[in-house]
Amino acid sequence: MSDGSIDSSIDGSWPALEATTVQVEDGVAWVTLDRPDAANARNQVMRNELTWIWDRLAASDEVGAVVLTGAGDRHFCAGMDLKEAGQPEQSGARRDRLRASRDIEQLAALPQPTIAAVNGYALGGGFEMALACDMRVVAEHAQLGLTELAFGLVPGGGGTQRLPRLVGLARAAEMLYLGLRLTGPEAVSWGIANRCVPGAQLRSVARELARAVAATPRRAARYAKELLRQSYEVSLSVGVERELDALLTLLADRQAGAGAG
């Protein structure tokens, strides 16, 4: 579990949180899902805290990379807190609450490059959070999958949209319809994870990767992330034009900086 230490230099101090912890070191923000007794499941408190965290990080120039992980070594996140979801609630209130809780989309839209350090089970909404990150490093013992159909539900955090973009429609259908869970090595072979490492090495490997990303020029890294995200949404010709625009902007910045020197 994270020790909860917080670098207060980022936009003021971070308060103590109930379901998450935040630690900033060497330009990397470590966000830990911290409900180990509940398999780090996503309850409304966690959603609210993540919404606040992502808002704050998005506005920070001090953080160059973000790592999302789970407390302990068994669960990254087991998905929706079904105990909480089973409590009586008016359908309209539930709709409004969940539509207002779009923290996974905020994670995907962060300007900083993001890494999911998947330390154990990443199921349902937990897997969707990992999919919303730019890169994924997984422990060998991890299991990743969309398991909602077994409960008579469907994913609600982008799983049916992001997974096919990574693995193709046929493989995504297999995972969704059958509730297939991939091990760490399988996640790499399927193109979901970048690296698979022994659990004891997960944090150090994620730290090394995140520090390398955070060390790149911040503005260029943000442009690169935005261009990669847009590659799924625009035509090739439009994407190439936007890429050139970004390059010209950065070249102009370099020239202006050299002139100022």
Active site residue ranges = 128, 148
**Distance (Å, rounded) from C-alpha 63 to C-alpha 198?**
27
Please give the helix or strand (H or E) that residue 48 lies within, else none: helix 44-58
Q: Which of 27, 28, 74, 66 is nearest to 50 (CA)?
A: 66
Phi, psi at residue 146, to the nearest 5°?
-105, 110
Best CA proximity match to 72, nearest among 45, 24, 132, 32: 32
The C-alpha atoms of residue 196 and residue 182 are separated, in whole angstroms, by 12
Looking only at the bridges linking them, the beta strands covering 20-25 and 28-33 are: antiparallel
Q: Which helix (H) or strand (E) holds 22?
A: strand 20-25
Closest C-alpha to 121, from 43, 33, 21: 33
Q: Spell out the long-range contacts of 241-248 with Cβ–Cβ below 8 A and sequence spacing 24 or more.
A: none
The conformational region for residue 79 under phi > 0 = left, psi -120 to 50 = alpha, else beta, is left
Hunting for tokens 């995140």 — which residue is that?
Answer: 210
Distance CA 180, CA 183 (A): 10
